[in-house]
């Protein structure tokens, strides 16, 4: 298989882990099963005139795009189906040419002081409001936004009384980690097409609007496929560190491109001399912005190694002609001047026999 797999979600969906553990499947079998799922998903989407590769911008993090959770007070919405009323306000604000993954959910949790503290430190307010309980607040999280697009949505929603404000999700924060644990993937918007999951016992030839939102009213057409494919392969994962108990997510991602599954958090980072010189010259602007352009090869290797476990791996692919398994990670590096961190994508070759990750490029 030479297709690039945008992402695999074994963090919020346990099917792959359960299948592996219940049937005691080897990594060789799991490799075939995962690649089979990818091939089937590509074929289903193709039958609906959707190219899997074109969904990349909605499924992986990008250094030049923004993410945000838009917060609404359901107490100001008369309907009990407040999610519908919110979506009627938000859908017209999404560019018909853009790609986004959309996640939704109430701000649930037992510790209300904790939720309130997250909002205090992160919420960009549209108006004053009184915090009563997290479950009264409804969040719609959207990725792949331009900076101007985010501001436009914020300003437009400010005319809607239930809108409280937005929480930035582009950079690492406590609230972004919190969002990653409570929000559920609702749908993927690909231009004028909306993609979502439907029941696993319903044929993939059908298209069903399981969310129930009036997409057609805003020039959008719904396409659906069985949830086991949508949830695992078409769901965006809000970035967060790899926590204990969730290691299966990385394991399944690696198993999609290799039958050798070894935790990568302690792998040695390999940077060839020529590669280091190339990164310092061709990529100098990005490295300079991050304040790491003067790092030696060994120092840069240690920096990458320290960041590998801070996020998930994506853009997974195996190149059979070169026998190379590779993936990307997003590195977030604090800036010396105290401004927003610099986000750098590192493409790494997975070399399990040597317990090394070879740097292919950084951008």
Q: What is the pLDDT of residues 276-291, one digit of tens each?
A: 888 877 766 667 767 7
* Cα gap 209→194, rounded to integer Å: 9
pLDDT score of 292: 75
One-character DSSP codes across 105-164:
EE---S-HHHHHHHHHHH-EESS------GGGEEEEEEEEE-HHHHHHHHHHHTTSTTEE
pLDDT score of 39: 96
Q: Is 86 helix (H, G, I), strand (E, B) or coil?
A: helix
Q: Which residue stretches of the chain have pLDDT < 70? A: 1-2, 283-286, 289
pLDDT score of 287: 74
Which residue shows structure tokens 């997409």?
215
Query: Residue ranges per domain, the chain?
Result: 58-233, 268-362
* Cα gap 298→291, rounded to integer Å: 16
pLDDT score of 1: 52
Which H helix or E strand runs over 251?
helix 248-255
* Cα gap 196→231, rounded to integer Å: 9
* Cα gap 197→224, rounded to integer Å: 5
């Amino acid at each position: 298989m030479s297709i690039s797999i945008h992402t695999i979600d074994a963090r919020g969906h346990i099917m792959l882990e359960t299948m592996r553990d219940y049937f005691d499947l080897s990594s060789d079998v799991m490799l075939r099963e995962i690649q089979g799922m990818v091939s089937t998903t590509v074929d289903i989407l193709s039958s609906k005139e959707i190219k899997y590769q074109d969904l990349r911008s909605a499924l992986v993090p990008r250094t030049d795009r923004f993410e945000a959770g838009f917060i609404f007070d359901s107490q100001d919405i008369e309907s009990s189906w407040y999610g519908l009323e919110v979506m009627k306000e938000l859908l017209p604000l999404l560019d018909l040419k853009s790609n986004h993954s959309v996640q939704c959910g109430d701000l649930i949790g037992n510790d209300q002081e904790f939720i309130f503290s997250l909002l205090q430190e992160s919420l960009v307010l549209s108006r004053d409001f009184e915090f009563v309980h997290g479950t009264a607040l409804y969040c719609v999280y959207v990725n792949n936004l331009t900076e101007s697009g985010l501001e436009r949505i914020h300003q437009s929603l400010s005319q809607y009384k239930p809108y409280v404000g937005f929480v930035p999700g582009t950079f690492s924060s406590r609230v972004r980690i919190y969002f990653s644990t409570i929000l559920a993937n609702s749908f993927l918007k690909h231009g004028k097409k909306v993609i979502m999951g439907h029941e696993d016992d319903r044929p993939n030839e059908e298209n069903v609007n399981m969310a129930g939102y009036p997409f057609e009213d805003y020039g959008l057409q719904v396409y659906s496929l069985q949830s086991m494919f949508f949830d695992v392969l078409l769901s965006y994962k809000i970035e967060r560190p790899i926590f204990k108990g969730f290691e299966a997510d990385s394991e399944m991602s690696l198993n999609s491109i290799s039958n050798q599954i070894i935790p990568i958090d302690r792998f040695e980072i390999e940077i060839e001399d020529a590669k280091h010189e190339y990164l310092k010259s061709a990529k100098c602007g990005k490295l300079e912005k991050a304040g790491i352009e003067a790092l030696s090869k060994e120092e840069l290797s240690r920096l990458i190694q320290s960041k590998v476990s801070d996020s998930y791996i994506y853009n997974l692919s195996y190149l059979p002609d070169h026998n190379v398994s590779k993936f990307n990670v997003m590195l977030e590096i604090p800036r010396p001047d105290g401004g927003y961190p610099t986000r750098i994508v590192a493409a790494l070759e997975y070399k399990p026999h040597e317990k090394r990750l070879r740097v292919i490029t950084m951008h």
